A and B are shown apart, each in its own frame.
Chain A
């Protein structure tokens, strides 16, 4: 094919593409099947949450920030409440802290189950999606019986949680995590040794640890590259220092390890929920906080370990009842930023695997 003239061409992947987990456009410069250049375009889901928060009281901000990252909206509640509590010096009651940990970990499991299903679906396997959502449903039922909501919970409030758990919660929760522990074998059986899954994921999308850190990749995607960095352990917030769990870490940094590390994390989250249910004390669930409380002037950056990496909230208070400035940081933002770095040189089909394995979710990027 010596004299054949070839040239690069441009393909738009998205915005309406099922494997972009929301609405994201990747402008790909292609050389045949090979990706030469990737340029992401974001902002399709920009809802100006940060600006809206400037015109709301602190308590009113919590339900809006629910929409920041709706797959784990407990974490959104938590990160904002944590920052506001730090600003105002509010002590959270013991029972509320335990309830928070239980909900956060259940939400993490639910999110990883979505990851499990969606990643497999992006690569053409539909069954895991049904499996994952089936078990997630049990967790969502637990949330629904606690706070009445299935997606945006507004459960963790400034100073505690919105209401106590009903008495059926604890037995049903134990049953749910027992079932999920059981079903994990099914999940692993479906994909771990599946030859198609291995070909599509093993050795694909290698993310070196130094590149990951330099680009601010955090959470499971960072730990799959062999960096043992988990904010629950390394910068403990709430009461995470009281629980006994291992930081899941894998060393190959490819799509397959990013998948495995999340399954490992489900197991660790189950351990934490188990311990938290055992240690759940009696007592008040909420500190007395006026809905229009005015924290003193100051600024604070709080961060937590979300299922998609480091989630942070920066609040600047001028001493009035509304935050002067809120800046939200989501793990997906940096994960998407690194896609052009590790996707270049691969095939377009691998790009789908990379995108899915980094577990990017667009509302968190666009805010």
Chain B
């Protein structure tokens, strides 16, 4: 399946559940609504023509107004790759864990919980991970976070 065929196929099969975002000449990026996340992820893995069985990456983004969780998945059988994201409000951001679909997502979700403060439902092991155990200084990858010893240059 080429890139365009994949685009058509996803548009047909996931109409209404995956929205193609305007990304110009870059790889296609889809938006998935938060409540649909698990169902769409499952369908992406189990669809005969897609078989996205390989979890590449999960990255959090803080745009200032909202959080995003960007998933990159691939298929080792059909040699495909796909990106999609969920957009979350800044207050009370919460995603559903996709561990039952891709067990490898476990640590990525733990990381996103720790560094962005996005809660992961049904994760089961949300504990301090990259940061020290007694860390109490917020979520470092948020855009409004400054290091505790950071002194802003005075305006002259």
A312 to B83, CA, bound (A): 13
Contact assessment for B59 and A213 in the assembled complex, using a CB-CB cutoff below 8 Å? no
Contact assessment for B140 and A301 in the assembled complex, using a CB-CB cutoff below 8 Å? no
A325 to B130, CA, bound (A): 18
A217 to B60, CA, bound (A): 21
A316 to B70, CA, bound (A): 10
A314-B70 CB under 8 A given contacts A296-B24, A300-B26, A366-B130: yes
Contact assessment for A235 and B81 in the assembled complex, using a CB-CB cutoff below 8 Å? yes
Contact assessment for B57 and A214 in the assembled complex, using a CB-CB cutoff below 8 Å? no
Contact assessment for A235 and B79 in the assembled complex, using a CB-CB cutoff below 8 Å? yes
Contact assessment for B140 and A48 in the assembled complex, using a CB-CB cutoff below 8 Å? yes
User: What 3 pairs across the A-B complex have the smallest Cβ distances?
Assistant: A216-B104, A327-B59, A43-B130
What residue in chain B is nearest A214 (Cβ atoms)? Answer: B103
Contact assessment for B57 and A314 in the assembled complex, using a CB-CB cutoff below 8 Å? yes
Residue B113 interfacial (CB < 8 Å): no
Contact assessment for B25 and A89 in the assembled complex, using a CB-CB cutoff below 8 Å? yes
Contact assessment for A43 and B107 in the assembled complex, using a CB-CB cutoff below 8 Å? no
Determine the chain A residues whose CB is within 8 A of the CB of B72 once the complex forms.
301, 312, 314
A214 to B132, CA, bound (A): 29
- Binding site secondary structure of chain A: mixed
What residue in chain B is nearest A211 (Cβ atoms)? Answer: B103
Query: CB-CB contacts of B89-111 with A at 8 A, as 1s and 0s?
Result: 00000000000001110110000
Q: How far is the CB of A283 from chain B (nearest CB, A)?
A: 26
Q: How many residues of A contact B (CB 8 A)?
A: 39
A–B complex contacts, Cβ < 8 Å, 6 sampled: A213-B76, A234-B79, A312-B72, A314-B57, A325-B59, A334-B107
What residue in chain B is nearest A303 (Cβ atoms)? Answer: B56
Contact assessment for A43 and B131 in the assembled complex, using a CB-CB cutoff below 8 Å? yes
Contact assessment for A316 and B131 in the assembled complex, using a CB-CB cutoff below 8 Å? no
Q: Which of B1-43 contact A (CB under 8 A)?
A: 23-27, 29
Contact assessment for A329 and B24 in the assembled complex, using a CB-CB cutoff below 8 Å? no
Query: CB-CB contacts of A155-168 with B at 8 A, as 1s and 0s?
Result: 00000000000000
Contact assessment for B104 and A215 in the assembled complex, using a CB-CB cutoff below 8 Å? yes
Residue A184 interfacial (CB < 8 Å): no
Q: Which residues of B contact A (CB under 8 A)?
A: 23-27, 29, 53-57, 59-62, 70, 72, 74, 76, 79, 81, 83, 102-104, 106-107, 128-132, 140-141
Determine the chain A residues whose CB is within 8 A of the CB of B141 once the complex forms.
50-51
A215 to B102, CA, bound (A): 7
Determine the chain A residues whose CB is within 8 A of the CB of B57 once the complex forms.
301, 312, 314, 327, 329
Query: CB-CB contacts of A276-315 with B at 8 A, as 1s and 0s?
Result: 0000000000000000000010111101000000101010
Determine the chain A residues whose CB is within 8 A of the CB of B74 once the complex forms.
235
Residue A356 interfacial (CB < 8 Å): no
Q: How far is the CB of A144 from chain B (nearest CB, A)?
A: 33
Determine the chain A residues whose CB is within 8 A of the CB of B59 once the complex forms.
314, 325, 327
Contact assessment for A46 and B104 in the assembled complex, using a CB-CB cutoff below 8 Å? no
What residue in chain B is nearest A222 (Cβ atoms)? Answer: B76
Q: How far is the CB of A44 from chain B (nearest CB, A)?
A: 10
Residue A187 interfacial (CB < 8 Å): no
Contact assessment for B107 and A333 in the assembled complex, using a CB-CB cutoff below 8 Å? yes
A229 to B29, CA, bound (A): 24
Determine the chain B residues whose CB is within 8 A of the CB of A334 once the complex forms.
104, 107
Query: Which of B70, B104, B128: most chain A CB closer than 10 A?
Result: B104
Contact assessment for A299 and B56 in the assembled complex, using a CB-CB cutoff below 8 Å? no
Contact assessment for B61 and A216 in the assembled complex, using a CB-CB cutoff below 8 Å? no
Determine the chain A residues whose CB is within 8 A of the CB of B102 once the complex forms.
214, 216
Contact assessment for B24 and A46 in the assembled complex, using a CB-CB cutoff below 8 Å? no
Residue A337 interfacial (CB < 8 Å): yes
Contact assessment for A86 and B130 in the assembled complex, using a CB-CB cutoff below 8 Å? no
A332 to B35, CA, bound (A): 32
Residue A42 interfacial (CB < 8 Å): yes
Residue A227 interfacial (CB < 8 Å): yes
A347 to B62, CA, bound (A): 44
